[in-house]
Every structure is written in C-alpha cells, then in structure tokens.
Chains A and B, each alone.
Chain A
Amino acid sequence: MLYYGPVRVPTQAKSGKAIVRVELPKESKFQSLATDIEVELVKDKPK
C-alpha cells in the first residue's frame, strides 16, 4: 500500500539535487525514523 500526495516545488528553487524527508506526523500514534529520499528538481520535465 502506498501513501502519496503532491510535493509543491516553489519557483525560487534551484534546479539539481534536493532531499525529501519523509516521516510520520508527531501526533501519530506510530513512530517513524525520518527517511531522506534524494530527488532531482528540474525546470521542465522531459516529455
């Protein structure tokens, strides 16, 4: 099962590598270890 949602990348972001840190919200009854996922930010996606 997957959890997903839109990740908004502000227009002032520089292109290149960035990190998405994924974790459970503090109010969750479950615990998580923050997981860093490397992503690449691009001005336009290749079609």
Chain B
Amino acid sequence: MWKYRVSFAALLVSSALAYADERPDFSKLDRRILKEPVYTSPKPLYGLLVFGPNADKRIWMVLDKTKPDSSSYDVLYFDRNADGDLTASDKRLVANGAPAVFTLPELMDPATGARHTNLEVRLSGDQPTAMVSLKWRGKMKMGGGYPPDPGVYMCLSAKPETAPVVWFQGDGPFSFQRWCGGKLTIGGADDLKVFLGQLGSGPSSFCAFQDHVLPTGEGAQATLIFTDQEGKERRQVCPLKERC
C-alpha cells in the first residue's frame, strides 16, 4: 500500500514538474500598474489579461462605478494598448444598461500585433462575475472566466496582487480543463468533458474556445493512469471525439 502511495505521489510530482516546465510561471508575473485614475467606487475590482506565448504582455482591466453609491459596476477601465496607463480617456468604457456589457470592436494583440475582434466583458450577478470574450484573429471565439464546475464564474479582485489572470493565446499549444467533475465508476464508462484553451491563474480563469477549433472528427485523447489491485500502474487510452 505504501509503495502504491509513493509511486502515485511520484507520478503526480513528476507530471506537475514536467508541466511546469512548459507553462508560463504566473507567480512571477509583473503585476504593477503604471498609472491609475482616481476611482469613484470605494472598491474597484481588478482583472488581468495576458497575451503572447510567454504570457508577458499585460492588459489590466478595472471595474468602477459612475457613482460611489451605485449598486452595480458600470465603468470599465481597459488598458487597450497595454502600456500600463489607465488614465487615457479612450480607456474608460461605460456600460449601457444592466447587466453591464463593455465592448471594443477591435483589439491589437500586444504580443503579436494580430487583430482580434468583438471584445466583450460581460458582468453577471451582484458579486459580480465576469466573462471576457473575443474573436481570436477575427475568426474563433474565445472566452475567459470558466470554472471547472457550473457555479461561480470569474470574480475580479479588490487588489491587483490577487487579480485573476486570463491568458488569451489562441495559437496554442493548448491545455484542457475538465467541465463538471465527478467520480468515475470502476467497470463503467462515464463521460469526461473538457474545455480546450489556456489555463490562467486564480479561480475560474480558464480561457476556452467557444467555437470548435478542431476539425470535424478530431477530438482530444484521454489516458487514464491508474493502479490495479496489485499496485501496478496501468494506462487506458480513451478518445474524446464527441463535441457540444
């Protein structure tokens, strides 16, 4: 039993290390904001979008209010040119109606110069939660702010240091996030559902393709790595070819 525990722990650690080598280290992300406006709300809320293969080009977004006592956030400061200065007049977006939706017709990728279109920051609920979406290179829709289970989507933070980070990187390589976790039955064949996109940092920060980027007939591949009754590691490959 102890041997099984050690070997399984080693597998988890080695997997995590291998994975860590390939992904940007979000813990080292520069979270400074060069210049901020005077906010109206006593509690502005911060979120961070990052771009590029190294996730090092940053676009801050900060939710604010038109009146200090407003019940909902209806202003968004959005650092559209990624220079760290949120005080320029064209970076202040005001929502029309409720729930608040902020839009930009086009956004230049600060890492590659590619043109993304239909940027939208949509708020829901009282907390509020936020979903950030755009059409990657004007073609494939991506959305950031997904939790691993239905429930609370991305919540912005009262401090830049703890702001959730969404990584928009539609050119890959891609990662996955499970949707609707649950136990798998031994001897059974339960469905496993995954999003395709990029892992961010912080709760509910996965950025997923909302269009099918993979060609018809192509899916992901899942390999179940488990131990048998004798403690030996076994693998079972299962294609994930269905889509919805």
Contacting pair B173 A32 (CB below 8 A):
yes
**Are A5 and B214 closer than 8 Å at their CB atoms?**
no
Segment of B34-42, B115-123, B189-197 in the binding face: B189-197
**Are A14 and B194 neighbours in the complex by a CB distance under 8 Å?**
no
**Minimum C-beta distance from B17 to chain A (A):** 11
Q: How far is the CB of A40 from chain B (nearest CB, A)?
A: 5
- Are B174 and A30 in contact, CB atoms less than 8 angstroms apart? yes
From 21 to 47 in chain A, residues with beta carbon under 8 angstroms from any chain B beta carbon are: 21-25, 28, 30-45
Task: Please determine whether A2 and B188 come into contact, CB atoms closer than 8 angstroms.
Answer: no
- In the complex, the number of residue pairs spanning A and B with C-beta atoms less than 8 Å apart equals 198
Cβ-defined contact, A22 with B185, below 8 A: no
B185 pairs with A9, CB closer than 8 A: yes
For this complex, into which size category does the number of interface residues on chain B fall? 35 or more
Which of A2, A20, A23 contacts B224, CB < 8 Å? A20
- Inter-chain CA distance A44–B186, complex, in Å, is 7
Contact residue among A32, A36, A45 (Cβ-Cβ distance under 8 Å from B15): A36
Contact B220 A7 (CB under 8 A): no
Number of interface residues of A (CB under 8 A): 41
Q: Could you say which residues of chain B place their CB within 8 Å of the CB of A17?
A: 8
Contacts of B224 in A (CB 8 A): 7-9, 18-20, 39
The answer, yes or no, to whether B10 is at the interface (CB within 8 Å) is no
> Which chain B residues numbered 191 to 242 have a C-beta less than 8 Å away from chain A?
191-196, 199, 208-214, 218-229, 231, 234, 236, 238-242
The answer to whether B186 touches A37, judged by C-beta atoms less than 8 angstroms apart, is: no
Task: Evaluate whether A20 and B223 lie within 8 angstroms (CB atoms) in the complex, with A15-B186, A31-B172, A32-B174 already known.
Answer: yes
18 A–B contacts, CB within 8 A, in A order = A1-B208, A3-B214, A3-B240, A4-B192, A7-B236, A13-B186, A18-B225, A19-B15, A19-B226, A22-B220, A22-B222, A32-B173, A33-B173, A37-B176, A38-B12, A42-B185, A43-B185, A45-B183
Which 6 pairs of residues, A with B, have the shortest CB-CB distance?
Answer: A31-B173, A6-B189, A5-B240, A4-B193, A18-B226, A35-B176
User: Which B positions have Cβ atoms within 8 angstroms of A?
Assistant: 4, 8, 11-12, 15-16, 18-19, 22-23, 172-179, 181-196, 199, 208-214, 218-229, 231, 234, 236, 238-244
User: A residues near B, CB below 8 A?
Assistant: 1-15, 17-25, 28, 30-45
